Structure 1
Amino acid sequence: MRTLIQRVAQASVSVDGQVIAEIGPGLLILICAMQGDDDAAARKLAQKIPKLRIFRDAAGKMNRSLADTGGAALVVSQFTLAADTSRGNRPGFSAAAAPAEGERLYRLFADELAAQGVAVQTGRFGADMAVSLINDGPVTIWMDD
């Protein structure tokens, strides 16, 4: 699974001009299931992300995790994270999982993240979404797991 994680002061996702999910402080997690990913990959990522120490402690150091802060997560599917730009000017997305499998793993990831005690909001799989955020830091982390 491929993710782009952003520490945010707030984030929201809209579909057709209507906000469908929003969070305050926490993480915006853009996620893409890749070909060959399985349930174990989704679960591993869902267990690791809440423990990442990327939030400030009292001294301003990144020593606290999402679990420590009680922050929320906004999980948004984004197949374009699978982009292959090695040939030509038009990205290819053949490395992404097939849509049905991608959606299943996306939902499993979100459910497993919630099982870790994280308040989870989600986008709408396959929809044309508008994502708004205030990146805190900025802190942005790319993960391939």
Structure 2
Amino acid sequence: YDLVPEMTAYLETDYALDAIKSGKYSLIVHNFQNGDMVGHTGNLKAATEAIGHISKCLGKLVPAWLDKGGVFIITSDHGNSDEMELKSGKEMVVSTQHSLNPVPFWLLGKEVKLKEKGIVPDVGVTVLSLMGLKKPADMTAQSLLA
């Protein structure tokens, strides 16, 4: 993966842009896998490039969705490329594992207040809330909307 850090991000972006332009969808979920997959190689330069490609793709997707009146969420279920080295004894070693660092939750396109902290399962409940849908009784997570 570190040989082609962009992987298929631009093709995926084109498909997502087509879906946005179609006007058929009230919810589009997409996973850019670059940061994770390239991060697992331990190659910091390639991981940095991968994140740069994701940033360029988001630069196309965010305005396209917001122009349609949508809400855009950027988040992750774990870190990887954020922590590529760990201290082992007295030396730093390459880390190819998921990190335990907090992940971002950015909500764009709607004036709402967010809680300061949450957990990954809260994302699904937050999406339901934004869409005006009732949370099923068996979902125990909470919305991140304050």
Q: Which is strand-richer, 1 or 2? A: 1
What's the TM-score once normalised by structure 2's chain length? Answer: 0.35
What's the TM-score once normalised by structure 1's chain length? Answer: 0.36
Answer with 1 or 2: which has the greater Rg: 2
